[in-house]
Homo-oligomer: A and B are copies of this chain.
Amino acid sequence: MKTDIPALMRARRLDAIVVRGNTDTSTDLAYLVGGVKLENALYLQKADSPPLLVASPIERDTAASTGYRMRLWSDYDLIEYTKRHHNDRFRAAVAILSDLLRDEGVSGRVGFYGLADQGYSYIFLQALAAANPHIEVVGEPYPNLFQVARQTKDAQELAVMRRVGERTGRLLDSVFDFLTGQRARNGVLVHADGRPVTVGDVKEHIRLEMARLNLAEAHENIFAPGREGAVPHNTGTHERPLRLGETIVFDVFPYDPATGYFHDVTRTFFLGYAPDPLAERWQQVKTVFDRVLAELRIGERCARYQELVCDAFESLGYPTLRQDPKTQRGYVHSLGHGLGLDIHEPPALNLMPDNDTVFVPGHVFSVEPGLYEPDTPPDGGPGGWAIRLEDTVAFDHDGHLVNLTAYPCPMVIPVRELSG
């Protein structure tokens, strides 16, 4: 949580932190400024001092709305600095930050955060360190201060994420209504004029409905029938007609444009009917999914639930990444990920050997077991299918598990068949 930052600075022996960037890409900065948009801002916090926000004059009203003490980049005019540094903009940029840190009385260990070009960051922070012998430039490995702070959400963040979940539920309602409103002929969903209903038609409906619900997406949702779903990040070919009796993986991860917080949900279903061998597999995933949701506990290791799911799928005869890190069949990913201002952030429900995270109040994460079969399996069973079920859940500050998705898991979406 944001209120953990001073303690995290002490634990990491940081005398100051600097977070710089564009809030569109640097979610650590977006986190600190509370969702407003700033294109080129710098947040400076010294231990035991109120933070400073440095902003562009053309964003001064937005910056002021954060309530932080504010300075403007026009105090350190890049044109003047560049002239003074023989037209070398890089040296000017180093000098500006050096002067700002000096003017703000910064010394000691200073952590740097926010997204920037990797190569530029490397030479810029080297030059900054060289120019400021009283400063130790600190970069942090995973998990850095913000990865730790942000993985537990405060009550206000939980309330925002709950509302995003509710709106996402309305989106799912609308998509399922759209599908049940269609008719099928010869096993293919068709429009009134007989043209097939395609993945692209569904995606268009999703796009319009997201706008109505004031939800946005950072990249395209997944609506992947049959074999297409069997590579987990395939989004689905727009031209593909929707057929009855196929698995359809529908994974959507909208965010609220006003606050930036994400939701993440997956449903896998069949249009019309579920063929027996696939219905059985769907039920296997559903059983594991329900079991994980029922067993999640504060104080338990995140990794334990990935073990549990690997145990369950392996006992059913499916390969898992735990058995074979190269498998592309069976259970091919981890059980879940934290989410917030990023769609993927800590905690991780995986088997990384350094994953000693235990669940605590404020954790918000996905639970998403899945099975994948891109080809004909060795036992000669059905191939070209995928089943993943996913909810976003949270531990609130009373220690209760709250399902932010709270949406049914239909296996079959009924559609009316037209004769002939």
Q: Does A244 contact B (CB under 8 A)?
A: no
> Which residues of chain B have C-beta atoms less than 8 A from A219's C-beta?
23-24, 37, 257
Q: Does A195 contact B (CB under 8 A)?
A: no
Q: Which of A167-175, A180-188, A207-215, A291-299 contacts B (4 or more CB under 8 A)?
A: A207-215
Q: Does A102 contact B (CB under 8 A)?
A: no
> Which residues of chain B have C-beta atoms less than 8 A from A325's C-beta?
74, 77, 79-80
Q: Does A66 contact B (CB under 8 A)?
A: no
A35 to B78, CA, bound (A): 33
Nearest-CB distance from A201 to chain B (Å)?
A: 13
User: Is A139 in contact with B120, judged by CB distance below 8 angstroms?
Assistant: yes
User: Is A354 in contact with B140, judged by CB distance below 8 angstroms?
Assistant: no
Q: Does A118 contact B (CB under 8 A)?
A: yes
Q: Does A48 contact B (CB under 8 A)?
A: no
Q: Which residue of B lies closest to A123 (CB)?
A: B139
With known contacts A25-B25, A121-B121, A353-B82, A116–B115 Cβ distance under 8 A: yes
**Cβ 8 A contact of A141, one of B123, B125, B328:** B123
Pick from A61, A116, A234 the residue with the most CB of B within 10 Å.
A61
User: Is A115 in contact with B25, judged by CB distance below 8 angstroms?
Assistant: yes
> Which residues of chain B have C-beta atoms less than 8 A from A111's C-beta?
119
User: Is A90 in contact with B20, judged by CB distance below 8 angstroms?
Assistant: no
Instruction: Give residues of chain A (18-36) contacting chain B, Cβ–Cβ below 8 Å.
Output: 20-21, 23-25, 28
**Cβ 8 A contact of A118, one of B20, B57, B79:** B20
Contact-residue bracket for chain A: 35 or more
Nearest-CB distance from A400 to chain B (Å)?
A: 32
User: Is A119 in contact with B144, judged by CB distance below 8 angstroms?
Assistant: yes
Q: Does A287 contact B (CB under 8 A)?
A: no
Pick from A79, A138, A232, A333 the residue with the most CB of B within 10 Å.
A79
A120 to B326, CA, bound (A): 28
Pick from A137, A141, A142, A231 the residue with the most CB of B within 10 Å.
A141
> Which residues of chain B have C-beta atoms less than 8 A from A212's C-beta?
208
With known contacts A39-B233, A61-B231, A220–B257 Cβ distance under 8 A: yes
User: Is B79 in contact with A351, judged by CB distance below 8 angstroms?
Assistant: yes
Q: Does A323 contact B (CB under 8 A)?
A: no
A211 to B205, CA, bound (A): 10
User: Is B142 in contact with A119, judged by CB distance below 8 angstroms?
Assistant: no
Nearest-CB distance from A100 to chain B (Å)?
A: 15
Nearest-CB distance from A178 to chain B (Å)?
A: 15
User: Is B119 in contact with A122, judged by CB distance below 8 angstroms?
Assistant: no
Q: Does A114 contact B (CB under 8 A)?
A: yes
With known contacts A37-B235, A212-B208, A120–B141 Cβ distance under 8 A: yes
User: Is A353 in contact with B113, judged by CB distance below 8 angstroms?
Assistant: no
A79 to B141, CA, bound (A): 16
Nearest-CB distance from A47 to chain B (Å)?
A: 17
User: Is A118 in contact with B112, judged by CB distance below 8 angstroms?
Assistant: yes
User: Is A62 in contact with B326, judged by CB distance below 8 angstroms?
Assistant: no
> Which residues of chain B have C-beta atoms less than 8 A from A177's C-beta?
none
Could you show 9 A-B contacts with beta carbons less than 8 Å apart? A39-B233, A57-B326, A59-B231, A79-B352, A87-B354, A89-B352, A117-B139, A117-B140, A123-B141
Minimum-distance CB pairs A-B, first 7: A119-B139, A211-B211, A90-B141, A123-B139, A112-B119, A121-B121, A122-B139
Other A-B pairs, 15, CB within 8 Å; known A61-B231, A82-B354, A116-B116: A20-B118, A57-B326, A59-B231, A60-B231, A78-B352, A89-B142, A113-B117, A114-B117, A116-B118, A118-B121, A120-B144, A122-B126, A124-B139, A207-B214, A220-B257
Q: Which residues of A contact B (CB under 8 A)?
A: 20-21, 23-25, 28, 37, 39, 56-62, 74, 77-80, 82-83, 87-90, 111-126, 137-142, 144, 207-208, 210-212, 214, 216, 218-220, 231-235, 257, 325-326, 328, 332-333, 344, 351-354
